[in-house]
Amino acid sequence: MAKEKTIFVCSQCGFEAVKWLGKCPNCDSFNTMQEQEQKQNTYQKAKSSFSAAKAKKLNEIELQAYERFSSGSRELDRVLGGGIVAGSIVLCGGDPGIGKSTLLLQVCDFVGKDKKVLYVSAEESAQQIKMRADRLKCNTENISVLAETDIGEICGILELEKPDIAIVDSVQTVYAPELSSAPGTVSQVRECASRLMRLAKEQGITVFTVGHVTKEGTLAGPKVLEHIVDTVMYFEGEKNSTFRVLRANKNRFGSTNEIGVFEMSEIGMEDVDNPSEIFMSQRLAPVAGTATMCSIEGTRPVLVEIQALTGSSGFNNPRRVGSGVDYNRMVTLLAVLEKRFGYALYNQDVYVSIAGGLRIDEPALDLPMLAAIASSYNNKPIPLDTVLLGEVGLTGELRAISGCKQRIDECIKAGFKRIILPKGNKRSLSETGKIEILFASNVFEALSLCEKEQ
């Protein structure tokens, strides 16, 4: 009998090798190469399917409009690009207990009013799903539940029942029995996700899959899982906070910049209509080390507060800690503040955080971040009614930013009186009597304007 051949597959990125490697050459991860049986008939099966496929001219392909329907949540519809697309496959990831299953069960309750819904639970029993549905006050007559882990059985039931929407919770716990590897491994996740994808496209079934997140904050399993699905959504939020942020990292039917904000309550996940309120602290007096900015998340302006703390360090290498901001960008801006404007930060511990657990990566964060650090270092608070915006270059100059009109309108709505912008945005803005707009060409001028306003 011929010896079965094995290959080694990276559990993080799916890279394959003929021998074991301590470090994956593709993603540089250590001790992630797992031995798996090599399927000899994979190529023959694929080759036989090629003969049935025929290429078409691009101009001969007929476009069909994607049918969208509401999920019952305005915030979720925003993240999905305007609603659920029929026949799509969506991956929802997040930390344990953050609200993935709760939100999807609420979607089933709303969609089930006029569509057929099937909830496939591979982790919990049908009784546990029933208990959660009763707690959320869902109409259980609209939801069918299947407790199964065999992907073959799941696909068979989906083809038989033909629901409009199906929830698979979770993709790491379902398995294909013909594969010898354990559930959650690279080959199992790839095979199960591929079968669900093919079924969704062929039968027109919308499939939501739940994915676990590792302690490093990445989706458990190989990256190939994200390549297969149409949309990838991640839940963000602090464990001790009731607010959750849903962000789309990939979306074939909409923008990846949109966010949805939810509040976890006794009756489930509730939409937050005005996110600016939860990301702004209720301070009654100015405090050193805080600055306010208006971020653009997709098409939505959101006011957020940047908090910074500096203090003398007792170590040779002072600490640099950033929460909700890009660490490398923060360190670069600290170097600009020290080199160009004379701030002695080489012996100072610096902590920067975005209030409310939101993460911001846009360039307009640069100026308010530096202003908050300088405010904490000088122990001089920035006025409460002032908003700062601007990208900072390595020479300390301020560069123009986009979306100023939306940001200004949001600041006016929230009652702010002043906004400091780069001079590069002066040409594109018209005067308004509702808010005072100040312009600065570099960080020093912006900080000087903050001191004059006090």
Mean pLDDT over each residue of the chain, to the nearest integer = 86
Q: Is the pLDDT of residue 333 over 90?
A: yes
Q: Give residue 44's pLDDT band: very low, low, confident or very high (50, 70, 90).
A: very low
pLDDT in tens, 145-154: 999 999 999 9
Supply the pLDDT for residue 4: 58
Supply the pLDDT for residue 166: 96
Q: Is the pLDDT of residue 89 over 90?
A: yes
Kindly state the percentage of the chain with pLDDT values over 70.
90
pLDDT in tens, 131-164: 999 999 998 788 899 999 999 999 999 999 999 9
The span from the CA of 300 to the CA of 322, in Å, is 24
Q: Is the pLDDT of residue 52 over 60?
A: no
The span from the CA of 212 to the CA of 92, in Å, is 9
Supply the pLDDT for residue 222: 53
pTM, full prediction: 0.77
Is residue 126 within 8 Å of residue 152, measured between CB atoms? no
Range 181-187 average pLDDT: 80
Q: Give residue 43's pLDDT band: very low, low, confident or very high (50, 70, 90).
A: very low
Supply the pLDDT for residue 331: 95
Q: Give residue 37's pLDDT band: very low, low, confident or very high (50, 70, 90).
A: low
Supply the pLDDT for residue 48: 47
Range 306-335 average pLDDT: 93
Q: At residue 379, what is the residue type?
A: N
Q: Which are the contacts of 397, defined by CB distance < 8 A and separation ≥ 6?
A: 441, 442
Q: Is the pLDDT of residue 181 over 50?
A: yes
Range 450-454 average pLDDT: 70
Range 375-395 average pLDDT: 94
The span from the CA of 59 to the CA of 346, in Å, is 62
Supply the pLDDT for residue 190: 84
Structure tokens at 342: 């004379």
Supply the pLDDT for residue 292: 94
Structure tokens at 368: 């308010």
